[in-house]
Amino acid sequence: MEIIEGKMPFMGYETYYRIVGKRSKKPPLVLLHGGPGSSHNYFEVLDELAQKDGRRIIMYDQLGCGESSIPDDHPELYTKETWVKELVALREHLALRKMHLLGQSWGGMLAIIYMCDYHPKGIQSLILSSTLSSASLWSKELHRMIKYLPIEEQAAIHRAELTSNFNDPDYLKANEHFMNQHAIDMTKTWPECVMRKKRGGTVAYETAWGPNEYTPEGNLHDYEYTNKLGKIKVPTLITSGTDDLCTPYVAKTMQDEIAGSKWRLFEGCGHMSFVEQTDEYVALLQKWLDQYDE
């Protein structure tokens, strides 16, 4: 399978990108990773889609993580405006006039911001994977799910949020348990790209989101797009898992507001259904993308 790696100049830095598959008449699929700061790594499980569907898959590391520049001495760069500007620059650099767009977790937030505030042309369809339209609803739902943890783990998370001590061993243990339940169970063995150690990303995450997942305190704390979702007019597919950080309530909230959108709920999956049920996810994407290529 043909894989092209490159770097694009961006704001005095460099953005790494990875293109899988051969050029074809089909519009490529561009992938926006989570975090902020998670890097493209886990998206490599979708490489087989390029082979099966005969279209290019394009992924990249957003500024602040992975193989892209990591200007952690300038945390003021880590804003939604910078990351949208980077996506726009990538489209220009790779001449992506027509494309499908998939955003997972924070990447889905970035896609929603891009669609609602910038009204881009040439987006054939949108896939919102385990994402959110409201930071406050996300926080509320995660705190609801914390109540299902053992009482001592609930207390450890509550204590850390009160004291801002997120290095406490009891908190770290409770947080790991929660994330294994609702993000992805890292006690299991996954493909190499999922297990691969990430470069950087911590400063980007803490600057934009905050010191923990449950309570957004960074510059995205006021991310509230539920009432803007009606601006999205392209075909939209929402995907999530039954055990996801993106709870069915969060996913349904987005589906209710995006006219004509479809929602696929993956049973038994957490925050990365494309990793946990790759074959089913690839089949779903292939059918969806082929439907909206024109």
pLDDT, tens digit (0-9, with 9 covering 90-100), for 262-283: 999 999 999 999 999 999 999 9
Q: Does residue 160 lie in a domain region?
A: no
Q: Does residue 271 lie in a domain region?
A: yes
- Model confidence at 1, pLDDT cuts 50, 70, 90, reads confident
**Cα–Cα distance list, 161 to 210, 221, 227, 244, 256 (Å):** 11, 15, 29, 22, 32
Q: Does residue 175 lie in a domain region?
A: no
Number of structural domains (the chain) is 1
Determine contact, residues 258/229, Cβ cutoff 8 Å.
Answer: yes
Q: Does residue 198 lie in a domain region?
A: yes
Asked if 105 is an active-site residue, the reply is yes
Q: Is the pLDDT of residue 24 over 90?
A: yes
- Model confidence at 137, pLDDT cuts 50, 70, 90, reads very high
Q: Is the pLDDT of residue 202 over 90?
A: yes
What does the pLDDT average to over 221-230?
98
Predicted confidence at residue 205, as pLDDT, reads 98
Q: Does residue 148 lie in a domain region?
A: no
Q: Does residue 179 lie in a domain region?
A: no
Asked if 47 is an active-site residue, the reply is no
Q: Does residue 171 lie in a domain region?
A: no
Predicted confidence at residue 147, as pLDDT, reads 98
Q: φ and ψ at 146, to 5 degrees?
A: -55, -30
Which positions ≥6 away from 200 have C-beta within 8 Å? 37, 64, 65, 66, 70, 72
Q: Does residue 255 lie in a domain region?
A: yes
> Of 240, 261, 271, 273, which residue is the catalytic one?
271
Q: Is the pLDDT of residue 218 over 90?
A: yes
- CATH of residue 82's domain is 3.40.50.1820
Beta bridge partner(s), residue 4: 19
Domain membership of residue 270 as a residue range: 3-136+191-291
User: Residue 54, SS3?
Assistant: coil
Asked if 243 is an active-site residue, the reply is no
Predicted confidence at residue 294, as pLDDT, reads 84
> Of 39, 68, 69, 105, which residue is the catalytic one?
105
